[in-house]
Amino acid sequence: MKTLTVFTTLLAVSAAKKCIVKPKANANAGESSEPDNVLSTDEDSNDEPSNNGNEPTDNDRAELVEKARAEGKLPSDFKWGAATAAYQVEGAWKEDGRGESVWDHFTHLYPHNVETGRPGNEDSISGNVACDSYHKFDEDIKMMKIMKANHYRFSISWSRLFPDGQAKKEEGKWNVNEKGVEYYNSVINKLIENDITPLATLYHWDLPYALHEKYGGWLDYHSQYDFANYAEFCFEAFGDRVKNWITINEPWVNCVSGYRLGPGKAPYRCTGEAPRKLANETEGLDLQGGCSYEIGPSQYSPESEVLEANRPPQRLEDVWCSHNILLAHAQAVKVYREKFQKEQKGLIGITIDGEAQIPWIEPGMSEEQKKINEEYANLAAEFRIGWYSDPPVTGDYPQSVKERMGKDLPEFTEEQKAMLKGSSSDFLGWNTYTAHWAAPVEGQTPPTPEEANFENSKRDMWDDNCRGRGDGWTCIPPTLGSQAGSSWNTKYPPTIRVGLNWFSKRYEGLINNGIVITENGCAQPNYKVSRANDEVTKAYFESINQPEYADTYDEDMIEREDNLNGTLIHDTYRIDWYKGYLENLRLAFVEDKIDVRGYMAWSLVDNYEWENGYETRFGMTYIDFYNDPELTRVPKDSLTFLGEWAQANIQDF
C-alpha cells in the first residue's frame, strides 16, 4: 500500500524494557485524602500477559489468530459493537437523585456556547433529555441487535451514583444513590441477557459539578483520589459482571478543550478570551456565552499554592488537568488490581484519542524534505498522542515533550511513575477519526533548552487536516480526505492502519491484550459543515498520485434535516466511511500482524454532540429530537451494513 509505505520510518520507536511494580494496599479507601503511594517491585505483577480468565489461553489464541489471518478475517473473539456516553444519551438529568455534572451546570449557564436549531429551548442545548436512554434502553438494545454487536461501550455517570462526587464507605456501606445503582444494574443485566458484553467507561467528561465547585475538578490533585474511590465502588458493585473497564475517555479533549481551547467543552475554561462576565463594562456583551470564571479554589499538586476561587482561566490549566487525570487513571487501576482483578478476572485500561500523523508531501519535494517531514510527523504524534498514551504504558511523558516543555511540564514522582507504568498494559483504547498532515514551520527552529516552555514547544511544528482555517475554524482545502459533517472530521481511511502500526511499534511487548478501537465514525456532510465538489482537494491528491483519497461528493450527499428519504436515513457517506476504515483495520490485523482486539463504532444512536448540539449526527440510528416526543429509534442503512460486514469479516461470526 503506497500510503502506508510512507510511514514505515515513523514507526521505529524503541520500546522501553518493562519494569513491573506492585502497589501496596491503601488502608484509607473511601477517603479523599492522599493514600499511601509507596510501590515495590514484584515479579508477580504484570510480567506475564494478562489472562484473568477473560481471554483464551496464549496457545489457544495463537491458533485462533493464525486461522483467522489465513482466512483474511478478524478472529472470532473480536470485540464488535458500538459506543455511547452517559451525558450524550441518558437524559433524566435531575431524576432519581442524580447530581449536576459540569455539563449540566455550564450549558444551562452559558447556553450560547452550544449550536441549536431551536434557540431558547434549554433541552436543545443540553443533555437534559438527550436520547432518554435512561427510560428507553430496551430500544437501544434493539439497535445493537441490528448491527450484530457482541459488545456495547457505555459510560457511567459519576454524579448519578454520587451527586456530590465523593464516594465514601463507612461501616461497610457506601453513600451511593441507590436509584443510580439500579439503573446501571439494569443496563448491565439487559446487555448480558441479550448476549452483549458490557464495556464500561468510568469517566466520559461529565465531572460532578460539586467537585468543580469544591476544588476546581481536575485542576486539583485531590481529584485523583475522589475518582479512585468512585471507581472502587463501581468495581465492587458491577465488577462481577463487567469484565472490561475503561477508566478515562480522551483526556486530551477533556483537558485541552475544556481548560484552554474554546469555549467548546465544559467547564469552558478557555484562555483565548477573558470571561465576559469579568469585563469592566458588560453592557452589550453576550453573557450567556464565552469563557467561564466560576470555579473552586484549586491546588495543582501538594507542593503548589492554592489558587483563589472564581478566577479567570490561567496559563497551563490544560497541562495540569492532563497531569492529574492521568494520575486518576493510575489510582483507579491500582485499586482494581489490588482488590478486584484477581477475583473478578477482568481487564482495565485507558482510552486516548489523537490523529495519526501523515507527513506532508507535494509534487517535486526532495527526498531530504520528505524525511524531515516524516520526523516531524512522529514528533507531532508524540505531542498529540504519546503525551497521554506513554505515561500509562511506559510510566512517563515522551522525552520530546519533556525537552520542549521544560519547566512548564509537571514531573511525576518516582512513585507516580511506578504506579503509571503498565497501568494500561491489559489493553489500550484508541478513539480514531481522522489524520493530520505534519511538517516543520518554515523559518522556525526548535526551542533551545533555555527557550523550552509551553508557548515555544510546538513553534516549529505544523499539524492539521487542512492547509488553513477560515471563519468558524472551517477548513481551507486541500483537506486530508473529504470533509465530513464536523469541521475537524475528514475521511481518510488509512489513518486507522497507520495509527495501529505506530502504537504497535512504540509499545511492542508492553500491551498484553492488544489495542481496541473504542470509537470510530463520522457525521454525514450536513447543512452546517460540508464541502461538495471539492476540486482543490481532488487536484491535490491527483498531483501526488493518490487519487483514491480525493473522495469528492456532490450536493445530493449532504444531509437535510427535513428529508427522511435522503441521506439522513440512507447514509451512504457514512457507509463508505465504515467500509474504508474497517478494511484498513482488517489489513492491519491480517497483513501487518497488529494485535487489534476490538472495534466500537461511534455512535449507536444520534445524540447530543457536545457544543454542536443535536444536528451534528454521528449515529447509525436516527432520532427526531425536536418533533418526536417519543424519540423513536429509526435504524439507518449504516447500522445494517455494519452487521453484514461483521458476518463477512469476523471468523465464525
| CB proximity list for 284: less than 8 A, separation 6 or greater | none
Alpha helices in 46-147 (DSSP H): 58-70, 86-89, 102-109, 133-146
pLDDT of residue 272: 82
- Catalytic residue positions, numbered: 250, 519
pLDDT in tens, 427-474: 999 999 999 999 999 999 999 999 999 999 999 999 999 999 988 788
Q: What is the mean pLDDT of residues 553-571?
A: 96
Residue 257 has pLDDT above 70, yes or no: yes
pLDDT in tens, 175-221: 999 999 999 999 999 999 999 999 999 999 999 999 999 999 999 99
pLDDT in tens, 354-383: 999 999 999 999 999 999 999 999 999 999
**Is residue 76 helix, strand or coil?**
coil
Q: What is the DSSP string of 501-551?
A: HHHHHHTTTT-TT-EEEEE---PPPBSSS--TT-HHHHHHHHHTT-GGGT-
pLDDT of residue 453: 98
Cis peptide leading into residue 603 (ω within 30°): yes
Residue written as grid cell 479567570: 312
d(CA 292, CA 283): 17
Using CA atoms, how far residue 555 sits from 238, 465, 532, 534, 579, in Å, is 48, 22, 6, 11, 21
Is 75-271+285-649 CATH 3.30.450.260?
no
Residue 622 has pLDDT above 80, yes or no: yes
Q: From the CB of residue 652, how many other CB atoms can be counted at a distance below 10 Å?
A: 11
Residue 19 has pLDDT above 90, yes or no: no
Per-residue confidence band for 505, with pLDDT thresholds at 50, 70 and 90: very high
More confident residue, 491 or 6: 491
More confident residue, 5 or 495: 495
Q: Are 464 and 385 in contact (CB under 8 A)?
A: no
Residue 405 has pLDDT above 50, yes or no: yes
pLDDT of residue 55: 56
Residue 41 has pLDDT above 90, yes or no: no
Task: Locate 597 and state its grid cell.
Answer: 482486539
pTM for the whole structure:
0.93
Q: 625, 620, 623: which is closest to 633 by C-alpha?
A: 623
d(CA 30, CA 49): 30
Helix then strand then coil, % of the chain, to nearest 5? 40, 15, 45
Residue 108 has pLDDT above 80, yes or no: yes
Residue 407 has pLDDT above 90, yes or no: yes
Percent of the chain with pLDDT strictly greater than 90: 89
d(CA 217, CA 165): 10
Per-residue confidence band for 56, with pLDDT thresholds at 50, 70 and 90: low
| CB proximity list for 335: less than 8 A, separation 6 or greater | 26, 29, 228, 231, 232, 235
pLDDT of residue 188: 98
Residue 38 has pLDDT above 50, yes or no: no
Range of weakest confidence among 42-51, 228-237, 409-418? 42-51
E strands, 147-224, in order: 151-155, 169-170, 173-174, 197-203
Residue 35 has pLDDT above 90, yes or no: no
Residue 222 has pLDDT above 50, yes or no: yes
Q: What is the mean pLDDT of residues 338-353?
A: 98
pLDDT in tens, 260-286: 997 999 999 998 889 999 999 999 999
pLDDT of residue 237: 98
Percent of the chain with pLDDT strictly greater than 70: 91
Q: How many CA atoms lie within 13 A of 463 on its CB side?
A: 25
Q: What is the mean pLDDT of residues 508-535?
A: 97
Mean pLDDT rounded to a whole number for the chain: 92
Q: Say if residue 406 is exposed, middle or buried (CB neighbours under 10 Å; 0-12, 13-18, 19+).
A: middle
More confident residue, 30 or 562: 562
